[in-house]
Structure 1
Amino acid sequence: MTDFILTIIIATCGGFLLEQVNAPLPWTLGPILAVSLTALVSGRRLRWPLFVRNAALIPLGYSMGRPFTLETGQAIISQLPFMLLATFVTICAGILSAWLMFRRTKINLTSCLLGCVPGGLSQMVILAAEMKEADLTAVTIMQTMRMLSVVFVIPFLAIHVLPSAGQSAHLLAVEHTGSLLVFALVAIAGAVIGKAVHLPTATLLGPLLATALYIVCSGHTAPVIPVHYLNMAQICVGSYIGTSIDLRKIRDYQGMGPVLIGSVLLVLAVSMLMGIALSCLTPADIATTFLSTAPGGLAEMGITALVVGADSSTMTAYQLTRLLFIMLCYPYIVKIILKKRGL
């Protein structure tokens, strides 16, 4: 219990400090940095219960499913071939980056495959935690550096380099907001069912899918979870990740830096080219298609879409398609690649 309380205090302080300097994802990255650095300096490994992390994933999964509306579903259906193509190209670029990382460093192939594919920091680290062969520290470092690069570079390009999209191309329908209690039960049921059918990261993906399905079937708008509760959930997830990281192993990752920078530039270049191609093949403007294919988080890309006047519905559809494909299918792709190489 003493370790648990100490970890909470350290993690909360880390999140608060990063929020004060306006760092991206402060309540996830703050606890990760604070807890892992404390363990490095003190030489004492802190502990965090797995069931607390799993419980915290439920509201996060719900929040990720909230943007899904009937309009988003229609956009996915109408442009599904392009979305799958964009997802396929992005994953191929990530796998190529992973292969280069594996060849140039001493990091195992499983960790490289999970660290280089743009599936989101939290999602890929959670997947890594569930795969015994993965080096959680290496995956977290790779995903964190990729995420930081994307968070700073993509909004800058969208706002200052790409032509403005003007006003958003769609109108939001007026819908009734559903009860938070009902949606909470839906999210919990999704987590339970996800566990029962052995979904990867079931307590995250189950609530996401259940929430999206309920929104489409009921026509209700999912209510927003108060930000303080989401911050608490992020602290729980970040604390678990922080206690799983051993920063003393960084010295074993010689050569990671240059390859990681190259892999981030490769994925960004591929995203830009896909955005240009999709703007020619679909009615969407370049700002919308670029944010749709950008290897960033849904929240960060959504905020950027609002700032530049891009079509947030189309952007959400593309981002959710990539996220769902990576969460549902990518673990099996990794296993197939490893099996082919006899690992």
Structure 2
Amino acid sequence: MTKTLTIDNGEIFALCSLFLLALIFSFIFDYLHFPVAWFLVPLLVAIIFSIVKGKIESFPHSVGVVGQGMIAVVTASHFSLDSLINAQNYLFPLLGAIFITGIFSLLNGFLLCKIAKIDPCSSFLGSIPGAGSSLVAMSEEMGADAIAVTVLQYVRILLVSLIVPNIVAFYFSTPILATPIVESCNPELCFTPTNNLLITADLPTSLLTAILKTLLIIGTVTIAIQVGKLIKLPSNLFLAPFFSCLLLFWFIPTTIPPTIFSIGLFFLGLSTGVKFDLKIINKLLKAVLVETVLVILLIIICFLIGYEFHQITGLDLMSCLLGTTPGGLNTMTATALELGGDSGMVLTMQMIRMFFILTLSPFFAGTILQMDYPHHEGN
């Protein structure tokens, strides 16, 4: 049975006000180089709006769906076969580093669940290092608390982006005085495949190509979502566009304008923020404190993993440390560039970890939900 919403003039005015306020403040904070402005600002505006105005029942569900799809497409465009080929010489040590990091992340999720009393699925998705925006995008569909996952992920991202570059810079005697570029907040710093066919808004001569390729992407995503429904793909609204566009971009290399990613983050931030409930504040305050301690411990562990990776592979220490951090892909790449490290290797290591995270996280989350469901049934 489909629920029909009656939207009066007051609701329309509230929705328009929300979008306008979020847009204005996003532009302002983006101009001020606020980390992840196009996600965090609309998220905060929507949260404040929900507290003052009350939950907006008429907020379009399609906004969040479109946001997920945009983020999935842009995420897919950051991967390249070249990245995987370049990593073959140190693939097994890298997989070992990813596995060990994953084990400690699962332990963090378990501790969050037990100490902060957050449901297992949200604790798991909130503790996975890397692909923060993508995990938030898929969290609601996986049955997790999107607000909790958002808070946990961005506490991790901000801590990693603030702590790691400055520790590495201090160790290598080069100060870094810059606003941290938080994971996935600036797609231009991510991998951009070399290609002759680009989607760009700057070149009028490529308008026809841009239109055709945009239609191709939309068609591919639409078909993939339908196929995902048939095969019951976990987190279908995110993974179906991600995998389909990953294949598409390998055959037809494409650069997605940063604006698309910003719009996706904007939509996702709004759709997540309007779900905010004051009752979760006490729970999340405790979770943030626990997460802060756990992330700092995870950073220390990842430094040890990076050092061992350096010993095994013989690659330079700075790049190994930056490549094995728990997230902060763009920050680590920019830091490597500034300090003279191997930014290509750092980016490859971070992207391979992100690939495994995006591929395996929904299946792990689904397993956790199946294990947790009988427990709730028994209660």
TM class by shorter-chain length? 0.7 to 0.9
**Cross-structure match for 1:147:** 157
Of 314, 318, 322, the match for 2:353: 322
What is the Cα deviation at residue 323 of structure 1?
Answer: 1.8
Distance 1:294 1:234, change over 3 A: same
Tell me the distance in 2 between the aligned counterparts of 1:55 and 1:146.
25
Offset from partner CA, 1:278-323 (integer Å, 9 cap, x none):
1111242122222221122433333233222332332222222222
CA distance in structure 2 between the partners assigned to 1:155 and 1:74 by the alignment: 27
Report whether the alignment pairs 1:223 with 2:242: no
SS at the partner of 2:118?
coil
Contact 1:126 1:201 in 2 (8 A): no
Shift of 1:26: 0.5
Q: In 2, distance between residues paired with 1:14 and 1:305?
A: 31
Query: In structure 2, how many angstroms separate the alpha carbons of the residues matched to 1:311 and 1:193?
Result: 39
Q: Within 2, Cα distance between the matches of 1:108 and 1:206? A: 26
Matches within 5 A, 1:106-255: 106-132=117-143, 134-162=144-172, 175-180=194-199, 181=210, 183-185=213-215, 187-195=217-225, 196-197=227-228, 198-217=232-251, 220=253, 222-225=254-257, 227-253=258-284, 255=286
Counterparts of 1:200 and 1:78, CA distance in 2: 32
Q: Is the 8 A contact 2:234 2:363 kept in 1?
A: no
1:1-343 equivalence runs, <5 A: 1-45=12-56, 47-132=58-143, 134-162=144-172, 175-180=194-199, 181=210, 183-185=213-215, 187-195=217-225, 196-197=227-228, 198-217=232-251, 220=253, 222-225=254-257, 227-253=258-284, 255-340=286-371, 342-343=374-375
Contact 2:235 2:362 (C-alpha < 8 Å) held by counterparts: no
Residue type matched to 1:16 in 2? F
**Alpha-carbon distance in structure 1 between the residues aligned to 2:34 and 2:192:** 33
Q: Is the 8 A contact 2:221 2:245 kept in 1?
A: no
- State the superposition RMSD in angstroms: 2.9
**Deviation (angstroms), 1:214:** 4.2
Give the match's secondary structure for 1:323: helix
- Measure the CA separation in 2 of the matches of 1:234 and 1:186: 22
Q: How far is the alpha carbon of 1:203 from its aligned partner?
A: 4.6
Instruction: Tell me the distance in 2 between the aligned counterparts of 1:231 and 1:71.
Output: 26
Structure 1 position 123, deviation (Å): 1.8
Q: 1:78 to 1:3 in 2, by over 3 A?
A: farther
Structure 1 distance, partners of 2:243, 2:369, is 28
Shift of 1:5: 1.9
- Could you tell me whether the CA contact under 8 Å between 1:94 and 1:263 is conserved in 2? no
Quick one: percent identity of the two aligned structures? 24
Structure 2: where are the runs of 5+ without partners? Answer: 1-11, 175-190, 200-209
Q: 1:60 to 1:299 in 2, by over 3 A?
A: farther
Counterpart code for 2:151: I
Alpha carbons 2:39, 2:269 under 8 Å: kept: yes
Q: CA offset at residue 250 of structure 1?
A: 0.5
Deviation at 1:236, TM superposition (A): 1.2
Q: CA deviation at 1:130?
A: 0.9
* CA contact 2:192–2:255 (8 Å) conserved in 1: no
Q: Structure 1, unaligned stretches of length 5 or more?
A: 165-171
Q: What TM-score does the superposition give when structure 1 sets the normalisation length?
A: 0.84
Contact 1:111 1:128 in 2 (8 A): yes
| Matched length | 332
Q: How far off its partner does 1:154 sit?
A: 2.2
Change (3 A) 1:127 1:59: closer
2-structure distance, mates of 1:174, 1:192: 24
SS in 2 for 1:5: helix
CA, structure 1 residues 159+210, in 2 after alignment: closer, same or farther (shift >3 Å)?
farther
1:256-293 alpha-carbon deviations (Å, 9 max, x no partner)? 24311211112211211111111111242122222221
Distance 1:150-1:44 versus aligned 2 partners, 3 A rule: same
Q: Which amino acid counterpart does residue 345 of structure 2 have in structure 1?
A: T
Distance 1:258 1:229, change over 3 A: closer
Provide the TM-score with structure 2 as the length reference: 0.77
**Distance in 2 between residues matched to 1:174 and 1:27, nearest whole Å:** 24
Judge conservation of contact 2:21–2:45 (CA < 8 Å) in 1. Answer: yes
Number of the residue aligned with 2:183:
none
Equivalent-residue separation in structure 2 for 1:193 and 1:85 (angstroms): 36
| Deviation readout 1:25-45 (Å, 9 max, x if unpaired) | 101111001111121133343
Residue of structure 2 in register with 1:168 after alignment: none
Q: What is the aligned partner in structure 1 of residue 177 from structure 2?
A: none
